Structure 1
Amino acid sequence: MTPAPEQPAGDVAVQVRGVRRVFDGTAVLDGLDLTVARGEFVALLGASGSGKTTLLRILGALDHSDGGTVLVPEARTTVFQEPRLIPSRRAWQNVTVALPRAAAGRDAALAALTEVGLADRADAWPGTLSGGEAQRVALARALVRSPELLLLDEPFAALDALTRLRMQDLVGELCRVHRPAVLLVTHDVDEAVRLADRVAVLRDGRLVTDEPVGLAHPRDPAHPSFAALRRRLLDDLGVHRPAAAPTSASTPAPAPVSTPTGVSP
């Protein structure tokens, strides 16, 4: 059984110092440092295999480190890419699964489902829910535990584009209301800038970027500061906009090349 990390003190929710995690002789995390304040929303970007989910699993006590110090609050929970609902339990029962009996009543589940806009689906079976609805049940299951640390492992990746935007708005609003510390793992640069107070980039086992966003909500991707931060993050991720071909009076200019908004898994 993986031992639970120790708890931080004061206004710090997450304190990671010099953390290493080695698989088959390769250090996926190599002396990583990260601090997240209580109530702060941090997004973590990185290429596939860079160690983002490994760090999330260590913080959630689902894995262990091979060195360094990890301090996190005891009250923490994780929302994964898949909702991971129990098919034989109704939506409200999935919300309260594994809670102590005294806290696992229908009223608590309905309050959480109301916050995510699913009170009318409380008695639905998981198999009848859409992808977005199932993920909202998973979010309600996380919030009903009143976590001090909410870990989000690409929770919108399997959703269609419109549902994804709606879920981003919902998560952003709920996090501003409940004020847990949040660590979001994502491949989507626009998603990170849209939601987070800080955005970090993980490469070669360490953070190469850790930058505050500094924009008021709601955030407009067309805002110059949003676009500038997006460009810097894409550069740090190794995603570069192709250079425009030279033009002349007799040669029509090529069509504009759109800037990628995320990094594919």
Structure 2
Amino acid sequence: MTAVRVRALRRVFGDRAVLDDLDLTIGRGEFVALLGASGSGKTTLLRILGALDGADGGEVLVPEARTIVFQEPRLIPSTRVLANVTVGLPRGAATRETGLRALAEVGLEQHADAWPATLSGGEAQRVALARALVREPELLLLDEPFAALDALTRLRMQDLVGELRRIHRPAVLLVTHDVDEAVRLADRVAVLRDGRLVTDEPVTVPHPRDPGDPEVVALRRRLLADLGVHATTPAGAPTPAPSTTRAPQKEFSA
């Protein structure tokens, strides 16, 4: 089943086509990571999928139930944590219970009555994640949600997102600059360059993924090369097989 289907997408700013004849398909429950240099159009694509921006051409089909987690938590400072999670939900007896359950999933049920200003960066981002998942989205859009966090908190948040994804099973599109993050989390990794996807590869190594696994090392090397970064092989380490031309992405039957 297909959650996202993009065909011949075009988005122009001035005289520059940021997205040009782009095709992308994401299956239901599939986790896709999108890599690309700054200004390559990653966030533009995510915003179009989230209905925050419009396309200048092409076809975009996405589920109605979709949510976005941004790099900044974007919490309402004058509203307590629980109310931030449930903001916009229909009023009713289940709202508080639903919000507390979402906070429990991200380990913050004890902070329900706290003010956002008292939270750490990682805690605030967990609240943003709970706010997104409480709506049970069919599509979860993640716009570099860990970029502002320290390295240890980032790893913990990656693990949390992976676990919540396994529980809720939304389709996920993660926009990131971090190749290791993409390989660690995603079922497929795509690279955006010159307005199109130049790479779209499955990650077949089972979770949890060892960064030293030869398949992971080889994939990381190929992705870095597609991003214009050519890593050197450490002394004594096996040289990964040369990159091959990747076949076009597979279609998912609706």
How does the TM-score come out when normalised to structure 2?
A: 0.91
3-state SS of paired residue (1:101): coil
| Aligned counterparts of 1:104 and 1:143: Cα–Cα separation in 2 | 15
Tell me by how many angstroms 1:171 deviates. 0.1
Partner of 2:46: 56
1:135 to 125, 135, 158: 125
Partner of 1:21: 11
For the pair 1:47 / 2:37, whether they are aligned, the reply is yes
CA contact (8 A) 2:89 2:95 kept: no
Flag structure 2 segments of 5+ consecutive residues without an equivalent. 238-254
**Which runs of structure 2 are paired with 1:135-214 in the superposition (5 Å)?**
135-214=125-204
**Structure 1 runs (4+) greater than 3 angstroms displaced:** none
| Aligned counterparts of 1:137 and 1:225: Cα–Cα separation in 2 | 34
Change (3 A) 1:31 1:220: same
| Aligned counterparts of 1:205 and 1:165: Cα–Cα separation in 2 | 30
Q: Percent identical across equivalent pairs?
A: 80
Partner of 1:237: 227
1:222 to 203, 212, 215: 212
Tell me by how many angstroms 1:223 deviates. 0.6
Partner of 2:63: 73
Max Rg structure: 1
Q: Give a deviation string over 1:24-60, Cα, whole Å, max 9, x none.
A: 1100000000000000000000000000000000000
Tell me by how many angstroms 1:243 deviates. 8.4
Partner of 1:247: none
For the pair 1:117 / 2:107, whether they are aligned, the reply is yes
Cα-Cα RMSD: 1.5
| Aligned counterparts of 1:80 and 1:156: Cα–Cα separation in 2 | 9
CA contact (8 A) 1:95 1:138 kept: yes
Q: What amino acid maps onto 2:181 in structure 1?
A: E
| Aligned counterparts of 2:185 and 2:207: Cα–Cα separation in 1 | 8
Q: What amino acid maps onto 1:223 in structure 2?
A: D
Q: Give a deviation string over 1:183-221, Cα, whole Å, max 9, x none.
A: 000000000000000000000000000000001111110
Q: Which has the higher contact order (CA 8 A, sep 6+)?
A: 2
| Aligned counterparts of 1:94 and 1:44: Cα–Cα separation in 2 | 28
| Aligned counterparts of 2:65 and 2:93: Cα–Cα separation in 1 | 15
3-state SS of paired residue (2:92): helix
Q: What is the aligned residue count?
A: 236
CA contact (8 A) 1:96 1:104 kept: no
Q: What amino acid maps onto 2:205 in structure 1?
A: L
CA contact (8 A) 2:6 2:60 kept: yes
Change (3 A) 1:239 1:104: farther
CA contact (8 A) 2:42 2:192 kept: yes
| Aligned counterparts of 1:121 and 1:204: Cα–Cα separation in 2 | 44
How does the TM-score come out when normalised to structure 1?
A: 0.87
Q: What amino acid maps onto 1:95 in structure 2?
A: V
Change (3 A) 1:119 1:243: closer
CA contact (8 A) 1:78 1:150 kept: yes
Tell me by how many angstroms 1:240 deviates. 1.1
1:97 to 66, 87, 102: 87
Flag structure 1 segments of 5+ consecutive residues without an equivalent. 1-10, 245-252, 257-265
